[in-house]
Amino acid sequence: MPMNLRKEFRDYIVKHGHWMVVRQAIPGRYCACRNDHSQESDPRCTDCLGTGYAFIDRFIKGRKSRQIKLTQSLGAEQRAAITQMAPTDNIFFLQHTIRPTMLDYILTIALDPLTQEPERPYRALSVHDISDVREQRDEKGRIEYYAVTAETRAWPEFSIND
């Protein structure tokens, strides 16, 4: 019997995944902070993270890898020990039902220590700017899950919509 990779991945996420938010850009819609005349947005806006796009937050279960060093993060300035580079990238594994793009963000959120469900009100711990989305397909071409590379961004506070 052939392996059903989508089912195996879904079962893995149910057992070992954790809650996160994918903040997805809405095509053709803009944030209220965007100035229509100059087409600039407020770089301090916590709704759009300074991008000017309107977003929708999707609470999903996924899996986050440990921090990694990628060549695309070379040139990024960060505090680190002498001769050390602080890793800023993670790889996230998301189910096929979410179609992430490079306009989107992944937010790690605070989880209740007992239930591992998202705290209410929701509280973002970190934001990750998606830099690469790889469709993971089966031999017949069906998308089974996504492997997403995202760089950690420094943001002092976040606004998560219910």
Instruction: Name the class of domain 5-24+57-153.
Output: mainly beta
Whether the CB-CB separation of 136 and 146 falls below 8 Å is answered with yes
Q: Whole-model pTM?
A: 0.80
46 contacts: CB under 8 Å, gap ≥ 6: 155, 157, 158, 159
pLDDT of residue 73: 46
133 and 102 Cβ atoms separated by less than 8 Å? yes
Going from N- to C-terminal start, the domains of the chain cover 5-24+57-153
**pLDDT by residue (tens digit) across 21-38?**
999 999 999 999 999 899
158/23 Cα distance (integer angstroms): 11
For 5, the 3-state DSSP assignment is: helix
Give the pLDDT band of residue 108 (cuts 50, 70, 90).
very high
